[in-house]
């Protein structure tokens, strides 16, 4: 099978020849530890891992290309340091928020999750309706730079491919939180629900308009929504709020993607997602990740409860990987065989690989994972 066929067959409960091998990715602090434990400084960790395990997935035979579609605001705000004192930077980030971060890290860590970094938000770009009106122009689907100059050529290259291709973008909860802040968003859902609906509808329309040229030219394998919206035991907002404010976006995007032949609609949320999965299923979402065990997610119970309505990626307890030995063996035995009975599961670390996981333990875990997935 090609990588593309294998991925789709696995997550749609088909009959893959093997299950995709995806042990998980380390953060910068994790790599620093691994370099001290034998990982060569100038080597890509997966290349070294494949050499140690004695296999390497076949590369795609056809050239890969990124579509280059940008769902972020255009133009972005100027990123600048506003203050540096007492061991902290206070920065205006590219999204227009005023954010604080320890100067132990370069302030550019605010741009992306390169490591496990705590930040503090002082102010968000949308404080009122005037701010909102002044924000909206940055989300023009036709803005220069939204699509690369060679977009048509990239789409042609992607039409007859053997590699996996999809689109990633923020869900409405994630995006509104970036505009107004988490606490402010929750307050607005009670005190000014019409404003929240206006923002959610705007985002739904923007994503649809930005997806449309892609869906018209390329049959994607997945769309993947970033929507972190749960704590350790519950969703951050009630299921009723999810249905009211967020589900209309999900319904619209899923319908458009399905009409274009997209087989996998993937929802990414940290935290406990048990009360959210039924809503996602109602919307037609059929895959979820990363299924954090520390947040009381029981992926085996989810399979019993929701059956083949939901596929999963992740779900292997990072704390068990850190302990290694019999602990990780028991964790893999707990999760993988029950889910592999039906399929619809790509096992892997249930979030970014943290620095308490040693390089030897990561190798041993990966070896066991590769055996389960049929690679060795």
Over residues 252-266, the pLDDT tens digits come to 999 999 999 999 999
Q: What are phi and psi of 210, to 5 degrees?
A: -80, -35
Domain ranges of the chain: 3-72+126-373, 78-124
List of long-range contacts for 241-248, beta carbons under 8 Å, 24+ apart:
241/189, 242/173, 242/276, 242/279, 243/279, 244/193, 244/197, 245/172, 245/173, 245/189, 245/193, 245/196, 245/197, 245/200, 246/171, 246/172, 246/173, 246/200, 247/279, 247/282, 247/283, 248/200, 248/201, 248/204
Contact status, residue 322 vs residue 350, Cβ threshold 8 Å: no
Q: Is the pLDDT of residue 10 over 80?
A: yes
Q: What's the whole-number mean pLDDT along residues 58-79?
A: 95
Six-digit token string for 220: 């994607």
- 343-359: average pLDDT: 97
CATH code that applies to domain 3-72+126-373 = 3.20.20.210
Q: Quickly tell me which residue has 């689109």 as its tokens.
A: 167
In whole angstroms, give the CA distance from residue 63 to residue 163: 9
d(CA 37, CA 31): 10
Say whether pTM exceeds 0.85.
Answer: yes
* Confidence at residue 112, expressed as pLDDT on a 0 to 100 scale: 72
pLDDT tens sequence across 273-302? 999 999 999 999 999 999 999 999 999 999
pLDDT over 90 (residue 106): no
Beta carbons within 10 angstroms of residue 102's beta carbon:
14
Reply yes or no on whether the pLDDT at 216 is more than 80: yes
Residue 224 has pLDDT above 90, yes or no: yes
């Amino acid at each position: 099978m090609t990588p593309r066929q294998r991925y789709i067959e696995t997550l749609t409960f088909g009959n893959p020849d093997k299950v995709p091998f995806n042990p998980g990715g380390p953060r910068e602090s994790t790599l620093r530890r691994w370099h001290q434990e034998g990982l060569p400084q100038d080597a890509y960790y997966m290349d070294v891992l494949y050499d140690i395990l004695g296999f390497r997935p076949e590369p795609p035979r056809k050239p890969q290309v990124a579509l280059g579609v940008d769902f972020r605001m255009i133009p972005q705000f100027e990123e600048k340091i506003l203050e540096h004192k007492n061991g902290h930077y206070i920065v205006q980030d590219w999204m227009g928020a005023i954010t604080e971060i320890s100067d132990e890290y370069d302030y550019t860590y605010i741009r992306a999750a390169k490591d496990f970094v705590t930040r503090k938000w002082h102010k968000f770009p949308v404080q009122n309706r005037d701010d909102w009106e002044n924000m909206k122009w940055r989300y023009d689907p036709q803005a220069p730079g939204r699509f690369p100059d060679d977009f048509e050529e990239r789409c042609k290259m992607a039409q007859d491919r053997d590699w996996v291709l999809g689109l990633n973008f923020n869900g409405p909860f994630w995006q509104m939180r970036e505009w107004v802040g988490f606490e402010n968003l929750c307050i607005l859902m009670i005190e000014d629900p019409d404003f929240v609906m206006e923002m959610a509808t705007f985002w739904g329309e923007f994503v649809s308009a930005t997806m449309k040229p892609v869906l018209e030219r390329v049959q994607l394998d997945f769309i993947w929504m970033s929507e972190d919206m749960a704590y350790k035991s519950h969703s951050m907002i009630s299921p009723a709020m999810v249905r009211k404010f967020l589900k209309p976006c999900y319904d619209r995007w899923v319908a458009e993607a399905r009409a274009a032949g997209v087989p996998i609609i993937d929802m990414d949320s940290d935290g406990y997602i048990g009360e959210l999965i039924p809503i996602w299923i109602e919307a037609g979402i059929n895959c979820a990740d990363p299924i954090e065990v520390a947040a009381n997610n029981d992926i085996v119970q989810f399979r019993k409860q929701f059956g083949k309505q939901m596929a999963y990626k992740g779900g292997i307890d990072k704390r068990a990987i850190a302990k290694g030995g019999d602990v990780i063996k028991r964790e893999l035995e707990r999760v993988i065989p029950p889910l592999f009975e039906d399929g619809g599961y790509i096992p892997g670390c249930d979030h970014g690989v943290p620095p308490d996981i040693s390089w030897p333990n990561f190798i041993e875990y990966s070896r066991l994972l590769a055996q389960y997935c049929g690679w060795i």
